Amino acid sequence: MDTQALALALPLIGWASHTALLTHRLATARRDPLTGLRTRAGWTALAERIIRRHRDAVVLLLDLDDFKNLNDSHGHAAGDVALAVTAERLATWCGRHGIAGRLGGDEFVAIARQASDLESLHRSLRQPVAYAGRRLPVSVSVGSCHVKDLPVRSLSDALTAADSAIYAAKGTAGRRGIRPLSR
């Protein structure tokens, strides 16, 4: 290859390599490496589309109860397993009609086109998690918001309502579970 052709090709090769790297970073930023769920950025755009198209959509916020205690008592590897299992259970519940995401830490989010059986999700989420030959108890608080109950259909308002509902669920002494905003 002559020098002039090489001089022309090098910037193109550099540009192509840089583009491939940026594309890879963008793709990985949209998926949580531990759970495989979408991150906030990857989840939000899809959730907004579902809210615009499906009046009966339900938005969920979830977090693992006493997650710090699980990590402190059984180790961070046990906590990672609990997060991965919770993510799998949530994604299974969403199926093809919804999207699950991980906001970070022990917080998850989901949207389903229709309010499926929330009680079956709760039963699934509270099943013990197998780790190192033991069955670790897991408790997950869930707040939900039915989009049709909002004055204006917006993801931001749905998340705010679900957040209020999750605090209500956590604030009820001795009872964890799903607390819908309204019906």
Catalytic residues: 106
Cα 135 to the chain's mean position, in Å? 24
Question: Taken in order 117, 81, 177, 150, is the CA torsion positive or negative?
Answer: negative
Continuous segment of H or E residues that includes residue 146: strand 140-146
Token pair 């190192």: residue: 132
Continuous segment of H or E residues that includes residue 51: helix 40-53
105 within 8 A of 47, measured Cβ to Cβ: no
